[in-house]
Amino acid sequence: MNEENNGAPKNKWSRIFRKKWFFPALYLAIAALLLSAVVWYQNLGPDEAQDDSADDYTPVEHDEEAERVMDQQEIIQPPVESMDEAEIITKYYDYDADQDDQENAIVVMNDRYYQSTGIDVAADDGETFDVVASLDGTVDDVKKDPLLGNVVKMKHDNGVTSHYASLEDVDVSADDKIEQGEVIGNAGESLFGKENGTHLHFEIRKDGQDVNPESFFNQPVSALDDVLTEEDETDDDSDASDGADDEESDSDETEVGPPLDNNPEEDDSTSDDDTDKSKDDNADKDKDDNADKDKDDDATKDNDTANEKSA
């Protein structure tokens, strides 16, 4: 009886092993366990890696470099608080502009024509208005010009300068540090551009070369580098072909202005002095010619007298 009971479990497991579904079910169970372990490990691994990297992370200081990049991205602003209440009455003389804009960029003074190297801005109501700094910078010079009124020159980074002329009052002094948008004076009148009434004459220069301020409003300062590079290439290509034409058309061309560095009246006086000098030289030459002629006449007369005596 006991032997029958001991053999029953063995026979039971033997019957189970002989079932067709046993081993496939066993394999599926093992595969499910392995797959669960792989999925659990994959989900656990990235979190642990992130925790380790967060613990080992040390921030690198780049404040100085970041500040220089931000400076290069400073945006050029108009020299007035709001262009909605002002208008550009004299444009920058651009050789590629249409005829109407070029005519609007000519300034007439003392019957001479000057190409505008900047823009003239006036208020819609014709009254005076505050003039503000177009960029952060340092006041390089403040002077009183008999033709241009009060003039303020500011220096900025990367060889950029801004010029504010025809100012009635000036609120800054040389070497002052000025922030963009800070008031530097108010618009007034000047002999150069007198027909414009109360206005501001504004210029931007890059490495000493004037550019069109209107084209760079709301643009980063770095845009000035690209334009000057293109202009230099264009000038190099056209210099050789334009040389002969320039000589023929010198008498018809306008002069570059307004003369922030040159005085039109001084040019006129220099021209008058040259004319007077030429007249004096011609008069001296005429006197010398007359004197030589008189000497020749006297010599001829003496020869005739000597011949008569010998005869």
Under DSSP, is residue 292 helix (H, G, I), strand (E, B) or coil?
A: helix
**Res 62: pLDDT:** 52
- Asked whether the predicted pLDDT for residue 208 surpasses 80, the reply is yes
Flag whether 288 is in a domain: no
Residues in the chain: 311
Domain with 186 in it: what CATH number? 2.70.70.10
pLDDT of amino acid 269: 47
pLDDT in tens, 218-265: 999 999 887 766 666 655 555 555 554 554 444 444 555 655 655 544
Q: Is residue 208 in some structural domain?
A: yes
Number of domains making up the chain = 1
Strands (E) across 117-218 are located at 119-123, 130-132, 137-145, 149-155, 160-170, 177-178, 183-187, 200-206, 209-211
Question: What average pLDDT does the structure give for the chain?
Answer: 76
- With a cut of 50, say whether residue 129 has pLDDT above it: yes
Q: Which domain holds residue 99?
A: 83-229+251-257
Contact 123, 129 (CB under 8 A): yes
Distances (CA, A) of 16 to 22, 95, 97, 235, 266: 7, 101, 98, 98, 121
Band (pLDDT 50/70/90 cuts) for residue 23 is confident
Percent with pLDDT over 70 in the chain: 59
311 in a domain, yes or no?
A: no
- Predicted TM-score (pTM) above 0.85: no
Is 237 part of a structural domain of the chain? no
**33 part of a folded domain:** no
More confident residue, 108 or 11: 108
Q: Which pLDDT does position 221 carry in this prediction?
A: 92
Beta-ladder partners of 115: 106, 256
Can you give the pLDDT at residue 35? 87
Other CB atoms within a 10 A radius of the CB of residue 193 amount to 25
Q: Position 43: which residue type?
A: N
Average pLDDT over residues 188-215: 94
The confidence score (pLDDT) of residue 36 equals 87
